[in-house]
Structure 1
Amino acid sequence: MNRHIKLTSALLLLSAVLAGCNDAGTAGNGAAGAGAGAERPPSPVSVVVLKKAVQPLTTLLPGRASAFQVAEIRPRVSGIIKEIAFKEGSEVKAGDVLYKIEDDTYQAEVAQAKASLAKAEASVPSAEANLARYERLVNSGATQIEFENAKVTLLQARADVAQARAALNVSQINLDLTEITAPFEGVTNTSKFSIGNVVTANQSDALMTLRRLDPIYIDLTESSANLLRLRQEIAAGRMNKNENDATADIRLTLEDGIEYPHAGKLDMSEMAVSETTGTYSIRAVFDNPDNLILPGMYVRASVTVGSEDGYLIPQRAATRNARGELTAKFVTAENKVETRTFVNSHISGNSWLVTDGIADGDKLIVDGFQWIGDGATVAPVEATVDASGFVVEAPKAQDAAPAAKP
């Protein structure tokens, strides 16, 4: 009986302890909930204050590099290659010797032509003297026929001299052509023939290819639809045309994303649209002093096509909605976040240019907008965006006040 009473008392005591623990936990949770319900401080965001200004309008075009000049070097006389006078892959100047062909035969031909010329020239004085003699005797015994024959003989002698001199010139040209020279300054490639190979005049296989890389051409392509849209906007007065399209600067971005340091100029544009791709070609020319751009390299070109009065939205601060429209987040006068949509936008360097939906002094969020939604309260901090449009530079901090002494 006593054991039963003790067991019952122990169970009651254990229940009381558990109930106390449960009450304590409930009280703790209530305190935590009260703390969680406290208002969070506004999130700091970087903003730029927008101001309307005339900005350049640019378009991005894909392109390929091509050599400014290309020449496939071929022999103009036949023979055996006896010397290769250039280093493969090196730069050569105009007139530099590239190949030398065995010239013994051509030197002999020159000597033979010189002898033929001397022989022909030797007969001219005799023919001239003979003609002068018959001219004096034509009225005193010499017949007219003899006089005419002497005249013909002199003409033939002079013609033989001219023929021999022409043959000598041909022989000398062939001798000079045994040295194959560079037609312009450029960079050589691998020689396809070696010393001892027999080559023939005007053969189909080139000895090597010479390319001039400075300056260099960039072949760009643009859609005809964009061309028509551009002309319509200029005609409607929404866009200002460049004063001189031929001198419009063009900037390149290389395959590794680095901007090319030299600006290019428009060289020509194809006055026809491709029937298969619906594009037309534009060719630009760039200085290439370091041979940084090589033929066949892919590039992206930023071409200035005009200007317009509007506001710049850096690409880092803009997104596209499901309909492809440009969107960006702004801070209202009450420090609330709002999203604005822009139906019309144009490219201007590394930014988007818009003309509607913004006023001077509006604050565009350029950093920190990824984690906030519309209606959220934020603490705007003014900042600037550098020329590349990617790096946000916070304003310089003021000198910190000295710490208070305890």
Structure 2
Amino acid sequence: MSKKRILLLSVSAGAGHRRAAEAIRVSALQNNEDLDVCHLDVMNFVTAGFRKIYTDFYIKLVNKAPTLWGYLYHATNEAQSDSTMERLRRSVERLNSRPLLRAIADFAPDAIICTHFLPAEILSRLILKERLYCPVWVQVTDFDLHRMWIHERMSGYFAANDEIAQRMRLSGIAEHQIHVTGIPVMPAFTNHPLREECATDIGLDPTKPTVLLMGGGAGLGGLDKVAGRLLALKVDFQLIVLAGNNAPALKALQTMAPNFSGRLAALGFTDKVERLMACSDLVITKPGGLTTSECLAMGLPMIVNSPIPGQEERNADYLLEQGVALKAYDDLSLSYRLEFLLSHPEKLKAMRLAASALGKPYAARDVIELVLENA
């Protein structure tokens, strides 16, 4: 018997869409030996000009002009699908998608899962024109539902929570097509490594309160400055700072680390974030859908900092409503909220319990199982 072929399509406009697709791919291969799973980034199949507009422009916009991005997010959500601008946008997408269509034909999938709305929109038209016959599924990757995620002729939708499922129903998606699975995270976030082992590996005391700072410190100044302000607070805790690929920030953090008596661990890029979360009591992060879902899967409360208008703002609102996060909008509010939580362990414990209850660590597994049942 030939293997079932599952194709995952993401878009590298931010890392979340790719991480969701990778989480599904890894989970599928771990649990099903009779699968052939392929993950393609749609941006690898478009012209350089289209890629620059779609990814580079998006990243610059959210970092340099978040208010403008927020306006565009809400404007496109309200736009009529038959407007001149929308028809023009779809025409440009069609012209830039022909190499992708060839790649899909070459792989000949039994089912396709889209973790971004762009491939879902392209494939919806192919199904209408009877040029694609396999089922296409859509995984929404935020605690919000933008209009551009909604397309006809999809086999099913995976929602982050019940509210998003309700929004899907009100957008015209049939009840039987909607599945509340959560946002997929890597299987590593279900394992919960030992705190003692993970803390010792990076030179920290596993018995002390520990805070993980990630997300670049956007809106709050450089990471070294943020770390210095937090470690000057009148509460005793350890700080892990994840600088990622920001080499200057990492160097600055490592230079200042000896001044804080082993209380600061400065790290660059790692694919073992779950180990840093395992030895943390609280995470300071931007409220992206994937990062916050990883925190929830690990049962970690958050302080979400400077959410950009649009999907991050909606994600932050959801987390605050559920009692798993506080929001910081500048350096003073971040310092105050951190000191408050570390000085009130009962509040932090309540947030941790709420995060554990809210997490969906097996979302990726549930997604692939539903797809296979219908393939």
Larger Rg: 1
Structure that is richer in helix per residue: 2
The TM-score range, normalised by the shorter chain, is under 0.3
TM-score (norm 1): 0.20
Q: Which has the higher strand share?
A: 1
Relative contact order higher in (CA < 8 Å, ≥ 6 apart):
1
- Using the size of structure 2 for normalisation, the TM-score is 0.21
